[in-house]
Amino acid sequence: MTTTHQLATHPKTGPAVWKIVVVAVIGSLLSQLDSTIVNVSLSSLAHDLGTTLSAIQWVTSGYLLALALMLPLNAWLVNRLGTRRLYLVSFTCFVATSALCGFAWSPASLIAFRVLQGMCGGLLAPLAQMMIARAAGRDMARIMGYATAPILLGPILGPVIAGLILQHAGWRWLFFVNVPVGALGVVLAVLFLPKDETDLRSTAFDLQGFLLLAPALVLFLYSTDHIRETAGIALMIIAVVFLVCFVRSALRKGDEAILDLQLFRGRTFRTATTIQFLSNGISFAGQMLVPFFLMRACGKSPSATGLMLTPMGLGMLCSYPMMGTLTQRFGIRRVSFAGALLSLAATLPFLYLSLHGLVTSMLAVTLFLRGVGMGAIGIPSISAAYAAVPWEQLPMATTTLNIVQRLGGPTLTTLLATFVAWRMASASSIVFPAAFALLSAFHIAQAVATSRLPRELPGGKAVS
């Protein structure tokens, strides 16, 4: 019988692990880079395709909603098809639909192909996490740290690549550029990913659970972007009703549900998913608030704002490769808690900046430290979550963590954006200080959650 400590006590080391990491990074980086390139090119797409910005926005929204639609299927598909086969199918289809996007002849066709691309790419991130977790074992913090660092290059390089493509090649190459890189990724996946057909399990598909959870996720994500509209509020209520119905159904079905909520009975997994919810939410909420503050209160241009935000990404790039060494020496709780305290301490200076005016040097140092702190939170908690579940439950754990992450971002961002809008509507003179105080409160909640992580992984040693 498989124990809950199997991941921790049976690590796999050697070149084979790094080959799997290379494959996982290529898929995740390509997906991240694609999203960033398209997001910063929407105005150009609207102009070249002769449509409005509000209409072409569905190129991004349709992709994200399709991605959310597919997430609940991850665990069931892994059990039925195997990780290797599912990754190959998803990656190949992602590359193929990228080419279709490049051949689009109208705004409607481009949106339709982007929805297909989102459905194909929606499983790449959870599959990449699961492949690394299975291959790395107790080395997950170290290996995940190195694997995550290149993926951060997506948001950094995306605007640069998009500008070059639009200037010298045309919008279609925003999508064609995925094809040669994706083809290389597929070939490497065929060569490097281990076969896992012996791990297949024939499980019944929870159609009722899927029809409750998938629409709930899609409606929730859509409504958070339209929460100030009557229709957005109505859709949010419907999404919550669907989620409540899903929870009742899943609790009744147990491990036969499309998402096994029994995982949350374990304190470590429950704590780790809470941290992931808050961490992703704080990241997205900060990405909304800080640029808004710089442009609205400080009068900075969008290009200057983007440049001023660079230190935060650099801070995360610096912290990720150190996760293995730090967690091996100090344990996951101390590292994650220290990261939460550092990110909180680096958020508090924004209270001063919003009251007394922008100090560029202080902003740069603050953002760098905030990036270092936030980079030290996620990987230890993910390592703890995966080590706390049985080996055969890794697909379900990966699916659950990714869904919780997707919910955290829009939830806290919507709360913060609604608070800012309320303060601005009331003509308050302390809009941004109050907003940064609320963001700091989110950080405090995150610090409390990290303090509840186990000091070390099962086996009596700090995670390495």
Please list, in sequence order, all residues whose beta carbon lies within 8 angstroms of the beta carbon of residue 126, skipping any fewer than 6 positions away.
71, 74, 398, 399, 401, 402
Same domain, 275 and 364: yes
Same domain, 225 and 108: no
Same domain, 159 and 247: no
Cα 65 off chain centre by: 14
Q: Tell me, what's the pLDDT at 237?
A: 93
Domain coverage including residue 249 = 206-257
Terminal-to-terminal C-alpha distance of the chain = 25
Same domain, 235 and 134: no
pLDDT tens digits, 131-173: 888 887 777 778 888 888 777 777 667 777 777 887 788 888 8
Same domain, 409 and 308: yes
Residue 457 pLDDT class (50, 70, 90 cuts):
low
Please list, in sequence order, all residues whose beta carbon lies within 8 angstroms of the beta carbon of residue 187, skipping any fewer than 6 positions away.
none
Same domain, 244 and 126: no
Last residue of a domain, one of 169, 186, 202: 202
Alpha carbons 385 and 365: distance in angstroms, whole number: 32
Q: Tell me, what's the pLDDT at 1?
A: 36
Give the mean pLDDT of the chain: 85
Same domain, 124 and 158: yes
Q: If we measure between CA atoms, which residue out of 66, 330, 409 comes closest to residue 218?
A: 66
Alpha carbons 322 and 316: distance in angstroms, whole number: 10
pLDDT tens digits, 74-123: 888 988 888 899 999 999 999 999 999 999 988 899 999 999 998 888 88
User: Could you tell me if 11 and 137 are in contact, meaning their C-beta atoms sit under 8 angstroms apart?
Assistant: yes
Q: Tell me, what's the pLDDT at 11?
A: 46
Q: Tell me, what's the pLDDT at 198?
A: 63
Same domain, 159 and 99: yes
Q: What share of the chain is helix, strand, coil (3-state, %, to 5)?
A: 80, 0, 20
Same domain, 220 and 295: no
Q: Tell me, what's the pLDDT at 364?
A: 93
Q: Would you call 96 exposed, middle or buried from its count of C-beta atoms within 10 A (0-12, 13-18, 19+)?
A: middle
Same domain, 106 and 214: no
Alpha carbons 375 and 392: distance in angstroms, whole number: 28
Residue written as token pair 């890189």: 181
Higher pLDDT, 105 or 35: 105
Same domain, 172 and 237: no
H/E run at residue 350? helix 349-356
Residues 42-46 have a mean pLDDT of: 80
Last residue of a domain, one of 173, 202, 231: 202
**What is the domain count for the chain?**
3
Same domain, 169 and 290: no
- In this predicted structure, the answer to whether residue 4 has a pLDDT above a threshold of 70 is no
Report H helices in 426-462: 431-450
Higher pLDDT, 371 or 142: 371
Which CATH number covers residue 386? Answer: 1.20.1250.20
H helices then E strands: how many in the chain? 25, 0
Residue 275 pLDDT class (50, 70, 90 cuts):
very high
Residue 38 pLDDT class (50, 70, 90 cuts):
confident
User: Could you tell me if 140 and 386 are in contact, meaning their C-beta atoms sit under 8 angstroms apart?
Assistant: yes
Residues 254-271 have a mean pLDDT of: 88
